[in-house]
Amino acid sequence: LCPARGFREDPSRPGLRDKAMPRPAHGSPAALRDHGFSLDCLDSRGFLFGPSLAQELGLGCVLIRKRGKLPGPTVSASYTLEYGKAELEIQRDALEPGQKVVVVDDLLATGGTMRAACELLGQLRAEVLECVSLVELTSLKGREKLGAVPVFSLLQYD
Q: Based on the shown chain and the rule CB under 8 A, indicate whether residue 23 belongs to the binding site for a copy of itself.
A: yes
Name the β-bridge partners of 10: none
Indicate the residue among 144 and 155 with the shorter CB distance to a copy of itself.
Answer: 155
Closest CA to 112 of 135, 146, 67: 146
Helix (H, G, I), strand (E, B) or coil at 99: coil
Measured from the Cβ of residue 76, the count of other Cβ atoms closer than 10 Å reads 16
Distance CA 79, CA 37 (A): 26
* Stretch in the footprint of a copy of itself (CB under 8 A) among 10-18, 79-87, 127-135, 145-153: 10-18
Q: Is 45 a catalytic residue?
A: yes
Residues from 118 through 157 that contact a copy of itself (CB under 8 A)? none
Residues from 29 through 88 that contact a copy of itself (CB under 8 A)? 37-38, 43-45, 47-52, 54-56, 58-63, 69-71
Among 9, 82, 96, 144, binds a copy of itself (CB under 8 A): 9
Distance CA 53, CA 46 (A): 11
Among 8, 73, 83, 148, binds a copy of itself (CB under 8 A): 8
Distance CA 8, CA 24 (A): 25
Among 4, 25, 30, 148, binds a copy of itself (CB under 8 A): 25
Query: Least CB distance from residue 18 to a copy of itself, whole Å?
Result: 6
* CA–CA distances in Å: residue 9 to residues 1, 28, 52, 57, 82: 6, 26, 22, 29, 15
Helix (H, G, I), strand (E, B) or coil at 98: coil
Active-site residue identified among 13, 23, 33, 82: 82
| Interacting residue ranges for a copy of itself, rule: CB under 8 A | 5, 8-10, 12-13, 16-19, 21, 23-25, 37-38, 43-45, 47-52, 54-56, 58-63, 69-71, 91, 94
